[in-house]
Structures are given as C-alpha cells and as structure tokens.
C-alpha cells in the first residue's frame, strides 16, 4: 500500500510525481492502442478468411471443407450397405424359403443286448429342385430308411420315394407326389468367393423348421477325410450355423440361389480335445447338379470301377510289411472278367497312379479312380515285385449306393 503524501514536503516532490504519472499513463495508452490495433487486425483477418471460405463454399469442390465439426456427418454409404445386405438376405429367404422341406425317415431299430429295438425316426432337410417333386437331401438322412416323408414350409406332408443315392457325395434324390410351392435354382458354385455372404436354411433338430442362419463362405476346395477309405473333395466351408437336422438343406447366396447342400459339421479332432465352432461344410451345387441330373435321367449315378478288392497302403503299413511304396492300393482280389483282370493287373500288385491322379497322402484310391469317367481307358501304374509297370484299363461302370 502507498504511503500518504507528506503535505509539508516541497512542491518539487509533487511535480516529480505528476511527471511519473504522465509517463505511466502514456505507456498504458500505447499498450491499449497496440492491443486494439492487434484486435482490429485479427478481426479484419477473420473477416477476410470468412469471405474467402464463404466464396469457396459456393462451389462443390470446397463445400466439404467448411462442414462444422460439431455436426457429425451421417455414414450414408455404410448405412446403405447395411440396408442393402439386410434387404438381400430378406429377399433371398423369401425366394428360397418355400422350396425348403423337412425330411423324416423311418429306419429299422438296431439289435442290442435287450433284443430288437423299435424303429426310429430321423430327420433332416431338403430342397425342391423341380415342379415334378424332385428333392435333394443327404444320403445319410435317408440311408436304410423303410419309409420317407417330407413336410413343406406350409406344413403340408407328402410321402416321398428314394429315387437313388450317391454314397461318396452323400447325396440322395427323393420324389414327392403333390403340388410343389416353389422350386429352388441351383447356382454356379464355381463362382464363389471367400468372404461373400451365405445363408443356411433347414430344420435343426427336426423341430425348428425353415431356420435361417447367416455367415460367409469361409473357404472353397476343402477336403474331408470320411474315415471310410475316401475323401470328400472340393467342399465349401462356411461359418453359417449348421446343426443336426440341417443336413441336406441348402446353402444359399444373396441371389436366393442354392450354392451348396449342407452336409457335415466338424466339432473337433480325434487327436486333440480342442472344440471348434463355425466349421460347416457343404457339397458344391455344381457337383450336386451333375449327380442329380444323372440320377433323374438314368435312375442312378455311374461311378467308374476297376473290379478289384483292395487294401489302402499307408506309411505305417508300408513300414510294417517292408513295401516299396508309401501310398497305394494293394490288390487283394480280381473280379473275373473285370476291367483290371482284362487289362493284366495281378493280385499283389500295388496301384500307385490312375490316369493323372497319383495316390498319396491327399488322394486316396477312390478319389484317384473317380477322377476318370466310366467307359474311358486310362493308364494305371502299378508296383509289381519292385518294378513299375503301366497298363491301360478300360474302366467299368457301377453305382455307389
């Protein structure tokens, strides 16, 4: 705090204070003027910038530069994409749904310690492929069935006849008598791309009819070891949920076309306790089309045959019996007058190659054989007493059921 002025002091003290005050006031005035000048310059600059931006805002090219950050921009493209996807799924379901059926099969009861068990009813799914009532499903759904029936999407039930099956593709063709509500279109499975949307439609557990699950095409060209001496090839992998009862139902694209027949799910491996989810596999529609058309036309699907009984060779068997090859088909017996016998193949020969298909860890004898058509002549390579021999075999024709 300043001391009170001493009134008894000489006048020069007052004069000295007056001069100091003037200097302070002058300095303050300069500062204020400078500040006002700076503020005026800023305002003027702001107005100039605003005018420039305002002019630019009149053109399309710069309009997006002045959108206030306080106002979020709607993600129109994302919303449109989501809406389009949902609309596509809904449209595909409306198109294919009426052509999906539930398949019920009555199979003989097994014999147990307690005697003959009663007949059992199993269920699966299927899809109508013609107005005449032809229906595709899996072979394992109707295998050994005493009777079969199908229930349409509207609840109508028809008895169905098994026209024929193909075990190796796990495919069966049924025929139901009655008016069909819709017919599914078989798409081109060769055009599938990994990541595209896929819908699985069927009747899980036989109760939840026309259940729709959505996923993607996880992969194509998958191979599955059936454990029965052959591999299912060129399978479609999807993560769309497939459960017991979905077997034989369609895998569908957004165009509402059948791109596969849902066949199997994999929950884990025999060599590990790890449980997997989202591993479903479907038979490609192009394969289903070839087999189905021939069954409808000829009553059966022809597979090539060599007329032999054989034993698959693995590296373990080769090591145990000191064989000269790691993979192949050991000829145990020849059918008299059969293709292999007629071509000069002998018992104890080991078949290692059929046509261009070599038998190895990835290709079984059956798959190598089924790479050729019945009635064609193919070179067959065999290992005979340590020597490689090639003979020409005209393949016969047989059914796989």
Q: Tell me the Cα Rg of the chain.
A: 40
Catalytic residue among 140, 166, 218, 364: 140
Q: Classify residue 313 as left (phi > 0), alpha (psi -120 to 50) or beta.
A: beta
Taken in order 238, 131, 104, 141, the sign of the CA dihedral is: negative
Q: Which helix (H) or strand (E) holds 86?
A: helix 76-96
Catalytic residue among 125, 247, 285, 400: 247
Helix/strand/coil (H/E/C) assignment for every residue in 328-352: EEEEEEECCCCHHHHHCCCCCCEEE
Residue whose tokens read 């749904």? 97
For residue 376, how many other CB atoms are within 10 A of its CB? 11
Token pair recorded at residue 184: 């599914």
In the residue annotation, 140 being an active-site residue is answered as: yes
What does the DSSP 8-state code read for residue 244? T
In the residue annotation, 247 being an active-site residue is answered as: yes
Token pair recorded at residue 166: 């193909």
**Could you give phi then psi for residue 398, rounded to 5 degrees?**
-150, 170
In the residue annotation, 271 being an active-site residue is answered as: no
Q: Tell me the C-alpha distance between 143 and 172, whole Å.
A: 9
Catalytic residue among 149, 170, 218, 285: 170
Q: Tell me the C-alpha distance between 107 and 105, whole Å.
A: 6
Residues tagged active-site: 140, 170, 247
């Amino acid at each position: 705090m300043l001391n009170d002025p001493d009134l008894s002091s000489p006048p020069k003290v007052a004069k000295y204070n007056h001069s100091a005050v003037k200097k302070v006031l002058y300095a303050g005035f300069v500062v204020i003027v400078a500040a006002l000048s700076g503020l005026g310059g800023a305002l003027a600059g702001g107005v100039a910038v605003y005018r420039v931006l305002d002019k630019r805002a009149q053109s399309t090219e710069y309009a997006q530069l002045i959108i206030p950050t306080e106002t979020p921009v709607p993600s129109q493209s994302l919303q449109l994409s989501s809406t389009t996807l949902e609309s596509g799924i809904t449209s595909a379901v409306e198109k294919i749904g009426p052509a999906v059926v539930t398949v019920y099969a009555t199979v003989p009861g097994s014999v147990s310690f307690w005697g003959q068990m009663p007949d059992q009813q199993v269920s699966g799914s299927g899809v109508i492929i013609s107005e005449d009532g032809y229906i595709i499903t899996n072979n394992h759904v109707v295998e050994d069935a005493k009777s079969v029936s199908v229930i349409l999407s509207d609840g109508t039930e028809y008895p169905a006849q098994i026209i024929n099956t193909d075990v190796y593709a796990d495919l069966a063709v049924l025929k139901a008598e009655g008016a069909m509500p819709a017919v599914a279109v078989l798409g081109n499975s060769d055009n599938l791309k990994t990541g595209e949307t896929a819908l699985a439609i069927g009747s899980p557990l036989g109760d939840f009819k026309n259940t729709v699950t959505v996923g993607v095409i996880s992969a194509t060209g998958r191979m599955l070891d059936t454990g029965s001496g052959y591999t299912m090839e060129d399978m479609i992998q999807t993560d769309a949920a497939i459960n017991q009862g979905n077997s034989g139902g369609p895998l569908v694209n957004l165009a509402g076309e059948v791109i596969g027949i849902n066949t199997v799910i994999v929950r884990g491996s025999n060599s590990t306790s790890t449980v997997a989810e989202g591993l479903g596999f479907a038979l490609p529609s192009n394969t289903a089309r070839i087999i189905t058309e021939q069954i409808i036309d000829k009553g059966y699907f022809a597979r090539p045959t060599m007329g032999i009984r054989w034993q698959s060779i693995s590296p373990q068997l080769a090591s145990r019996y000191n064989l000269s090859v790691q993979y192949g088909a050991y000829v145990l017996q020849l059918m008299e007058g059969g293709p292999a016998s007629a071509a000069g193949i002998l018992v104890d020969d080991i078949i290692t190659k059929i046509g261009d298909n070599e038998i190895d860890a990835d290709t079984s004898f059956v798959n190598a054989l089924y790479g050729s058509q019945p009635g064609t002549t193919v070179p067959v390579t065999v290992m005979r007493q340590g020597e490689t021999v090639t003979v020409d075999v005209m393949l016969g024709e047989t059914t796989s059921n």
